[in-house]
Amino acid sequence: MIKFFRKIRQNLLLENKTGKYFKYAIGEIILVVIGILIALQINNWNETKKEQAITNKYLSGFVSDLKKDRTQLDNLINIRKKQITSVKAMLVMIETNHYDLDSFYGHFYYLFPFHKFRPNTNTLEEVLNSSHLRFITDEEVKNSLLDLRGEYKTIQAVEDHIYEDRSEYLYSALTLNHMEFNGLFIADTGFPIEKKEESFSKSKDVEIYKKDADYFMRDRHFKSFINLLDFNLIFAIAQTEKARNDCQSIISLIEEKINND
């Protein structure tokens, strides 16, 4: 093709058609420029397409992680609300100085397991650690994800605080002297533990359970622990519900962005 254009220029010069030569040369330059611009446009289009594919990959990853978080947060809210029910039931028993052995330990051991939030931040951490945050061009999505990350850290800080308060009481030597871990096999703790007894009142260790329950009913430290746990759980639920709602809002926001692209 280049030889073809060169031959035309040479013929024009040989025929002494200078005016036509310059016009042709200018036309050729224009064609070359147009070709370059088209090539650049195609290249830019390909790059944009590649970047959009990366962006969509991350957005889909965010949605997948957030849906797992939403499920986990829903479960935590459900568990903690049930734990508050147990806390309040035990406070009534303590205040009235009246309790049923099976009811007391049913609530007592339900407070024993501690459930922590484990957020799924794999996609977000990948984006942050690989400097690919630039691919998330939507500021609303980006800021919402970073804000939610901060909320997750707040939840984990609250959980650490509750765990420390809880451990300080439950695992003290005095408390452990009045606690039968065998009760975990009888009570409905929410864990898949096979029950080996029908109830505390029919257990072979029923007298031990009665003696320990009487101790907790009179122990002012236990009452303080239950009251503190009530307060902490209310605060934790509020934080967890906010994160759960924000999580759902971001899922809806991202899915709308993906569908509109």
Residue 15: predicted pLDDT: 53
Residue 54: predicted pLDDT: 79
Residue 66: predicted pLDDT: 95
Q: How far from chain centre, in Å, is Cα 78?
A: 17
Residue 1: predicted pLDDT: 47
Residue 32: predicted pLDDT: 61
Residue 231: predicted pLDDT: 92
Residue 39: predicted pLDDT: 63
The residue ranges of every structural domain in the chain are 2-260
Neighbours of 254 (CB within 10 A): 23
Residue 55: predicted pLDDT: 80
- Give φ, ψ of 10 to 5 degrees: -60, -40
Q: Give how far Cα 127 sits from Cα of 5, 122, 124, 168, Å.
A: 51, 9, 5, 39
Comparing CA positions, the residue from 34, 94, 39 lying closest to residue 216 is: 94
Q: d(Cα 52, Cα 47) in Å, to the nearest integer?
A: 8
Entry pTM: 0.76
What is the H or E stretch that residue 5 is in? helix 2-14
Contact 184, 112 (CB under 8 A): yes
Residues belonging to the chain:
261
Rg value, the chain, Cα: 35
Residue ranges, the chain, pLDDT below 70: 1-37, 39-44, 46-48, 188-198, 261
Residue 115: predicted pLDDT: 86
Residue 57: predicted pLDDT: 85
Helix, strand, coil abundance in the chain, percent, nearest 5? 80, 0, 20
